[in-house]
Amino acid sequence: MSRQLQARVPRGMRDILPERMIRRRYVIDQVSRIFEEFGFEPLQTPSFELAETLLGKYGPDAEKLIYQAQHAGGKEELALRYDLSVPLARLIAMHRGQLHFPFKRYQIAPVWRAERPQRGRYREFYQCDCDIVGTTSLLADAEIIQLIHALLSRLGFKDFTIHLNSRKVLNGIGRYSGVPADQLGSLYRSIDKLDKIGMERVQEELRESQIPSEVISRLAGLLQIEGDVRSVLGRLSKELAQDSEGRQGIADLEEVLCYLKALGVPDKQLDIQFTMVRGLDYYDGIIYETSIEKPKMPSITGGGRYDQLIGLFMKDSLPAVGTSFGIERIIDAMEELNMLPDSVRGTVVRALVTLFGPDQAAISLQAAHQLRQAGIHTELYFKQSSLKSQFKYANRKGIPCVVVIGPDEAEQGKATLRNFMTSQQVQLPLSEMPSQIRRWIGN
Amino acid sequence: MSRQLQARVPRGMRDILPERMIRRRYVIDQVSRIFEEFGFEPLQTPSFELAETLLGKYGPDAEKLIYQAQHAGGKEELALRYDLSVPLARLIAMHRGQLHFPFKRYQIAPVWRAERPQRGRYREFYQCDCDIVGTTSLLADAEIIQLIHALLSRLGFKDFTIHLNSRKVLNGIGRYSGVPADQLGSLYRSIDKLDKIGMERVQEELRESQIPSEVISRLAGLLQIEGDVRSVLGRLSKELAQDSEGRQGIADLEEVLCYLKALGVPDKQLDIQFTMVRGLDYYDGIIYETSIEKPKMPSITGGGRYDQLIGLFMKDSLPAVGTSFGIERIIDAMEELNMLPDSVRGTVVRALVTLFGPDQAAISLQAAHQLRQAGIHTELYFKQSSLKSQFKYANRKGIPCVVVIGPDEAEQGKATLRNFMTSQQVQLPLSEMPSQIRRWIGN
């Protein structure tokens, strides 16, 4: 065939080899299971959207990162999915009549962003979202927050805190401090940088935005109220007594906290943080993100209520609430911290059936077939070589059990089973292999 | 927000809504499970490859269907995955040192082709491949064919036939008939059209290729040998007694048939078909495809041995054998023929917890939580509305069980459970709900 090519992948993209893929899939399966326990339905949108669907939604800096695509003779301008939210809004507008509302869906799927590649960050990566569309009930907000708690706990994370805030409360704080209505947006943008640049620099930015310094200091006071969730809200509600939107935001948070208490989400894993803004413009109710202490991950989930986004694609918007999980970082952290159970091995194979000699090929095939029918993931060794090298292969690959059928065993309808984890070895009738292997590998 | 957009997807692409997604995922899960029973490992390649990796591999007609992509300031020429074979070859060349050989992998993933959209055919669709790389053993060929048989049987297909041939045998037939070596390629291309255009038109094409008519008639005679698998090979082996490659091809097929017999694959589901060529140039050993009678699907799988393909990306090639399953058509057929078990419903939700009134919100939340912890997929109704309309919602959505906790029940720590499939209704302590629901839904 033609000239030999250098085998490469595009910059910022990667192959996921079996060992890592098995671990990755374990986490994704766990996450899907929890979503479904909560009644979220799976769905799929195409990887491509019309460019017009995506452009103008993420701001100019993000827009530069969108991949565009075309084919010979194609007349449409196409773009690769940049997140899962805009496609959801588009889908709901298109299929509204076929869906049951409130519509709960989850999606775990790749998105593409041409960001500067760096360690652990790729240009193709998975996003993981769940959303509830079509209800303003705060039970829905509470359910999403409970789901965050349940999911991270079930995966084995312990030291995490869910930080709550409300865009309504933020508006109230802004107004009460004296920030003009048309400057609330730049107020959010400045506060959003607090973690990165510190309170002093934020105050400086606000001064540069022509916000008077007495306003800024009043604002700084309110933003920095600290304490347990209930006392923080109590103190703020006294300050905002005159602001109806602010009061509403506080009442919303109190109602959600009450639901979370009924569900046994411990107060100590919740935190009201008025300085948490969530960058995206489209949030308009309660917002939340989650930080994990170990490994340090400042924002492993992010979400909130966005009642207007879907209105981009249809006349009457639909209220919506949801969250994203940083699934790539969750997977990395779980690998790093050895949070995966022992049953998640580097191979799917649980038993290797060895090949003794040409005359034993048929019986080895049959033994492998029998194990497979019993649901045991089985590999048949294809090459006639010494048992030693077949054992070595199993060992190197991490296959826990090996089945040997030599001429003697074949004659008696038996097999010798070896457990690599314990070095145990037994000889037993072929029909008893599956249950013995299951006892050894524990399933 | 800005002007309202018309919600559309690109031509030839589609959303998959939950009802269909649940059925689809059931099939894909079954298929993955069988692959893993056979010891194939999962892996993932990026959706994008460098354009140079894909171009020149599929022929000029196919090449026009490849999607190209770019991002602002990007310097690489990128293309979207067109199949799963070329990326596999590229991956093996890149990661050879990290893999255990023989390397068995499966992949079920989307590919993109800008074909003319038509009913049931999309520009983004899933391919489903399994391959064994690094062994020339015919046990591997037999294993792939056995897997095809096991997989289709397990999914519930009955009237299917696996058609076998060998490129070596085809070469032998061509040479024996007198086709010059440099015309074997165009011979294959003509025979490949047999199903579509018939033997007469094929002979005409061969005449147009300057192949003498006595050669053509000898060829037609050989190609049309019919009968059961063993007698067909027996007859041909007499004719090709002088052609060593042809003889080798026949011996290969006989060895594989012998393995398949040991595995209990019935002869009547196998067929030697010398006119079956498989279009792709890169096959060089045994080849196979599968036809299903009901629903009529002439080629639901296609595969074979290709010992040179990987050599495109590295100095020493590696022998390989594998097959593709037409997973999209398999899913469509299983939906059409109602081959999915009753447990595959239009929703993941198994129980709806109703909301009686504001005072019952906490207890309803708790009940939902309890069911979820017991692994029962549960939805909580978010709106205070009549029980009748909550029941209607469950019914319309196909949720089999409803849990009602009114003030009386709440006081006694009880719930009323209703089974929509049988109209049964029972009142019982909250703690007994999970087991009762499991009995009803049968898992």
Complex ipTM: 0.94
Contact A8 B37 (CB under 8 A): no
Choosing from A313, A336, A359, the residue where a domain stops is A336
Average the pLDDT over A266-273 and give the result. 95
Structure tokens at A360: 């034993």
Write a three-state SS string for chain A. Answer: CCCCCCCCCCCCCCCECHHHHHHHHHHHHHHHHHHHHCCCEECECCCEEEHHHHCCCCCHHHHCCCCEEECCCCCCCEEECCCCHHHHHHHHHHHHHHCCCCEEEEEEEEEECCCCCECCECCEEEEEEEEEECCCCHHHHHHHHHHHHHHHHHHCCCCEEEEEEEHHHHHHHHHHHCCCHHHHHHHHHHHHCHHHHHHHHHHHHHHHCCCCHHHHHHHHHHHCCCCCHHHHHHHHHHHCCCCHHHHHHHHHHHHHHHHHHHCCCCHHHEEECCCCCCCCCCCCCEEEEEEECCCCEEEEEEEEECCCHHHHCCCCCCCEEEEEECHHHHHHHHHHCCCCCCCCCCCCCCEEECCCCHHHHHHHHHHHHHHHHCCCCEEECCCCCCHHHHHHHHHHHCCCEEEECCHHHHHHCEEEEEECCCCCEEEEEHHHHHHHHHHHHCC
Same domain flag for B194 and B235 = yes
Residues of A in contact with B443 (CB under 8 A): none
Q: B47 and A110 in contact by Cβ < 8 A?
A: yes
Q: Report if residue A2 sits inside a domain.
A: no
Contact state of A39 with B11 under an 8 Å Cβ cutoff: no
| pLDDT at position A443 | 65
Q: Give the per-residue pLDDT at B398.
A: 95
Establish if B3 belongs to a structural domain. no
Task: Please give the residue range of the domain that contains residue A24.
Answer: 18-336
Q: What is the pLDDT of residues B41-76, one digit of tens each?
A: 999 999 999 999 999 888 888 999 999 999 999 999
Whether the full predicted model's pTM is greater than 0.90, yes or no, is yes
Which pLDDT does position A67 carry in this prediction? 97
Phi, psi dihedral angles at A47 (to 5 degrees): -65, -30
Give the number of beta-carbon pairs within 8 Å between A and B: 305
| Residues A292 and A326 grouped into a single domain | yes
Q: Give the largest CA-CA distance in chain A.
A: 94
How many angstroms separate the CA of residue A232 from the nearest CA in chain B? 23
The better pLDDT of the pair A177, A380 is held by: A380
Cβ contact A303:A324 at 8 Å: yes
CATH code at position B158: 3.30.930.10
Q: What percent of chain A has pLDDT over 70?
A: 99
Which residues of chain A from 363 to 402 reach within 8 Å of chain B, CB to CB? 363, 365-366, 369, 372, 375-380, 382-383, 393, 396-397
Asked if B188 contacts B171 with a C-beta cutoff of 8 angstroms, the reply is no
Instruction: Say how far apart CA A427 and CA B16 lie, in whole Å.
Output: 51
Contacts of B53 in chain A (CB under 8 A): 5, 7-8
Question: Residue A8 domain-assigned?
Answer: no
Summarize pLDDT for A51-94 with one digit per residue, the tens.
Answer: 999 998 888 889 999 999 999 999 999 999 999 999 999 999 99
- Is pLDDT above 90 for A215? no
User: B427 and B320 in one domain?
Assistant: no
Is B86 among the domain residues? yes
Work out the mean pLDDT of chain A and round it to a whole number.
93
In order of A165, A167, A178, A249, A400, the CA distances from A234 in angstroms are 14, 17, 21, 12, 59
Q: Look at residue B10 and tell me if it is in a domain.
A: no
Cβ–Cβ below 8 Å for B9 and A94: yes
Chain A CB within 8 Å of residue B296 CB: no
Q: Hunting for tokens 């906790």 — which residue is that?
A: B405
Confidence class of residue A181 from pLDDT cuts 50, 70 and 90?
A: confident
The C-alpha of A345 sits at a distance from chain B's nearest C-alpha, in angstroms, of 11
Confidence of residue A206 (pLDDT cuts 50, 70, 90): confident
Q: Which of B41, B80, B99 sits opposite A69 (nearest CB)?
A: B80
Mean pLDDT in residue range A365-372: 96
Q: Which residue of B has its CA nearest to A77?
A: B10
CB contact burial B196-212 (16+ within 10 A = b; e otherwise): eeeeeebbebbeeeebe
A94 and B7 in contact by Cβ < 8 A?
Answer: yes
Query: Domain for residue A114, yes or no?
Result: yes
Total count of domains within chain A: 2
Cβ distance B440 to B426 under 8 Å? no
Nearest residue on chain B to A349, judged by CA atoms? B39
H or E, element range at B322? strand B320-325
**pLDDT surpasses 50 at A100:** yes
Residues of B in contact with A78 (CB under 8 A): 10, 67
Q: What's the confidence (pLDDT) of residue A282?
A: 81
- pLDDT under 70: residue ranges of chain B: 1-3, 280, 443
Q: How many CB atoms lie within 10 A of CB A10?
A: 23
Same domain, B248 and B352: no
pLDDT at A280: 67
Cβ proximity of B400 and B388 under 8 Å: no
Q: What is the pLDDT of residue B302?
A: 95
Q: Answer whether residue A342 is part of any domain.
A: no
> Based on the domain organization, do A80 and A178 belong to the same domain?
yes
pLDDT for position B1? 44
pLDDT at B435: 96
Whether B291 and B424 map to the same domain: the answer is: no
Same domain assignment for residues A150 and A292: yes
**Residue of chain A nearest B36, judged by CA positions:** A377
How far is Cα B146 from Cα B265, in angstroms, rounded to an integer?
Answer: 7
- CATH code at position B385: 3.40.50.800
Q: What is the pLDDT of residue B3?
A: 59
Q: Give the C-alpha separation, A280 to A91, whole Å.
A: 20
Are A219 and A196 found together in one domain?
yes
- At A423 the pLDDT is 92
β B41-42/B103-112 pair status = parallel
In this predicted structure, the answer to whether residue A169 has a pLDDT above a threshold of 50 is yes
Statement to judge: residues B393 and B313 lie in one domain: no
* CB–CB contact A39 B76 (8 Å): no
* CB proximity list for B436: less than 8 A, separation 6 or greater: B417, B426, B428
Q: How near does any CA of chain A get to the CA of B210, in Å? A: 26
- The alpha-carbon gap from A22 to the nearest alpha carbon of chain B, in Å, equals 7
- Whether A77 and A119 map to the same domain: the answer is yes
- Co-location of B374 and B310 in the same domain: no
The yes-or-no verdict on residue A142 having pLDDT over 60 is yes
Last-in-domain residue among B303, B336, B369:
B336
Q: How would you classify the pairing of strands A41-42 and A124-133?
A: unpaired
Helix axes B138-155, A361-373, angle to 10 degrees: 30
Interchain proximity A47–B48, CB inside 8 Å: no
Task: Look at residue B357 in the predicted model and tell me its pLDDT.
Answer: 87
Instruction: Determine, yes or no, domain membership for B151.
Output: yes
Q: Which candidate, A354, A415, A417, places its Cα nearest to that of A384?
A: A354
Domain closes at, from A278, A308, A336: A336
Mark whether B255 and B397 lie in a shared domain.
no
